[in-house]
Structure 1
Amino acid sequence: MDFGNIGFVVAGLLVGFIVGMTGVGGGSLMTPILLWFGINPATAVGTDLLYAAITKSGGVLVHKKNDNIDWGITGWLTLGSVPAAGLTLWFLSSLHTAPDAMNSVIKQALGFVLLLTALAIFFKQRLLAFAHRHAGDHYRLSDKSLNTLTVVTGVVLGVMVALTSIGAGALGTVALFILYPFLDTRRLVGTEIAHAVPLTLIAGLGHASMGNMNWSMLGFLLMGSLPGIYMGSHLTGRVPDSILRPCLAVMLIAIGYKLAF
């Protein structure tokens, strides 16, 4: 194993550890790290999407066993996200003959989505407090409006994930908290993971069909991330959330600003 491959294992270990400890930061950290390694943006996004699909699939099995998934919400999200991801992949494939243009689009979109993710992480508690405060007032949505907004949320997430590999985690969870403030946190998290797996799998396979994939790198990332997630999950709650989230948000803002501007 050469030095570069060891670096991918260490990167997987680091990201897996942070995800296990905080529940966020997978794609928003992994894709920028791969760019830092000199991987071109399209390949970084494609590889990270399949990485996310594989690592989160284990989470689906656990959440399904514990009845933590609302399959109705998952279905409405998927109804919007999968077609949107397909259209986004079609748009990227039209740029495939001009790789510089495709990489430029992906890189700039990545920067803006990282900034949005950082804001979602930083203001998550305030957003949740607002959602709970207004959950029972006269602004409460009808079932039809709620389903429509869920599909629209899926569309937005589908575009972001297919373009950047980011969005299904932090942004998706915050959106679900706002739309469904009375649903238990464990079920919201389980539902977001259940939705993320097919979305990232389809988007990842779409990128792979365009050649935006490095299979050996994916293997080395998983080699590090699986034990990293295991170790990080055992430290959940040891480091105060009030310290972890602002640090993660500031780091993502710095990376996002550099990529977008």
Structure 2
Amino acid sequence: MDFGMLGFVIAGLVVGFIVGMTGVGGGSLMTPILLWFGINPAAAVGTDLLYAAITKSGGVLVHTKNRNVDWTITGWLTLGSVPAAALTLWFLKNLDSDPQAINAVIKHSLGFVLLLTALAILFKQKLMAFAHKHAGDHYHLSGTSLNVLTVLTGVMLGTMVALTSIGAGALGTVALFVLYPFLATRRLVGTEIAHAVPLTLVAGLGHASMGNMDWHLLGYLLMGSLPGIYVGSHLSGRIPDGILRPCLALMLFSIGYKLVF
């Protein structure tokens, strides 16, 4: 293994470790790292999407076994996200014959979504407190209105994920908590992961069909991330959340700002 490939293994190890410790940061860290390594934006997004689908599949099995997945909510989200991802990929495919045009759209979209993700991570506790406070009043939705908003949330997540490979984690979790404030945290996380797998798989395969995929790179990333997630999960809670989240948010905000401006 040459030095360049070793760098990808280490990148997978670092990202896996952070995801294991915090539960967020997968796509929002991996895609910028791949850009830093010189991978073009379209290939970085396509590779990261299949990377996410594979790594999160194991999480779905565990959460399903522990009954931590609300399949009804997952279904409504998927009803919006998968068609939205397919339409976004169709748009990218027909945007222009020049790959530079696609890369420009992906790069700027990635920057904006990173900024949103940073804000979601930074203000997650305040948003959750707001949702809990108003869970019993007129703010709380139910029935058809809730289902429609869940589908629309899926549409937004599907569009962002297909364009940038990020959004299903931090943004998806916050959106679910606002819509379903009475949903237990373990079920919220399990539901978000269950929704992310088909979404990232469809979007990843779509990018692969467009040639936006590096299979060897995917293998090296997985080689590092799987042990990284294992170690990080066992160390979760050792570093205070109040330190980890602001640091992660600041890092993502800096990357997003640089990509956009």
TM range (shorter): over 0.9
Note the 1:109-124 alignment, pairs <5 A: 109-124=109-124
RMSD across aligned positions (CA)? 0.6
Provide the residue aligned with 2:212 in structure 1: 212
AA aligned opposite 1:248: L
Output the TM-score relative to the length of structure 2: 0.99
Pair 1:203-2:200 in alignment? no
Provide the residue aligned with 2:45 in structure 1: 45
AA aligned opposite 2:134: H
**CA offsets, 1:141-178, max 9 Å, x none?**
13110000000000000000000000000000000000
Provide the residue aligned with 1:17 in structure 2: 17
Pair 1:169-2:169 in alignment? yes
Q: Distance in 1 between matches of 2:51 and 2:30?
A: 9
Q: Distance in 1 between matches of 2:35 and 2:245?
A: 23
Give the 4+ runs in structure 1 shifted more than 3 A.
none
Provide the residue aligned with 1:106 in structure 2: 106
Provide the residue aligned with 2:55 in structure 1: 55
Q: Distance in 2 between matches of 1:90 and 1:183?
A: 35
Q: Distance in 2 between matches of 1:193 and 1:131?
A: 21
Deviation at 1:96, TM superposition (A): 5.3
AA aligned opposite 1:135: A
**CA offsets, 1:198-230, max 9 Å, x none?**
000000000000000000000000000000000
Note the 1:44-193 alignment, pairs <5 A: 44-95=44-95, 97-193=97-193
AA aligned opposite 1:66: N
Q: Distance in 1 between matches of 2:137 and 2:95?
A: 47
**Secondary structure of 2:235 counterpart:** coil
Which stretch shifts more, 137-146 or 69-78? 137-146
Q: Distance in 1 between matches of 2:254 and 2:139?
A: 36
AA aligned opposite 1:154: G
Provide the residue aligned with 2:34 in structure 1: 34
Q: Distance in 1 between matches of 2:15 and 2:38?
A: 18
Q: Distance in 1 between matches of 2:122 and 2:152?
A: 24
Pair 1:228-2:231 in alignment? no
**Secondary structure of 1:114 counterpart:** helix
Q: Distance in 2 between matches of 1:138 and 1:30?
A: 40
Deviation at 1:54, TM superposition (A): 0.1
**CA offsets, 1:100-150, max 9 Å, x none?**
000000000000000000000000000000000000012321311000000
Q: Distance in 1 between matches of 2:140 and 2:75?
A: 21
Number of aligned residue pairs: give it.
Answer: 261
Provide the residue aligned with 2:258 in structure 1: 258
Q: Distance in 1 between matches of 2:142 and 2:194?
A: 24
Q: Distance in 2 between matches of 1:19 and 1:139?
A: 32
Q: Distance in 1 between matches of 2:139 and 2:182?
A: 14
AA aligned opposite 2:213: M
CA contact (8 A) 1:96 1:210 kept: no
Unmatched 5+ stretches in structure 2:
none
CA contact (8 A) 1:69 1:188 kept: yes
Q: Distance in 2 between matches of 1:183 and 1:138?
A: 18
Q: Distance in 1 between matches of 2:165 and 2:142?
A: 32
Q: Distance in 1 between matches of 2:231 and 2:191?
A: 24
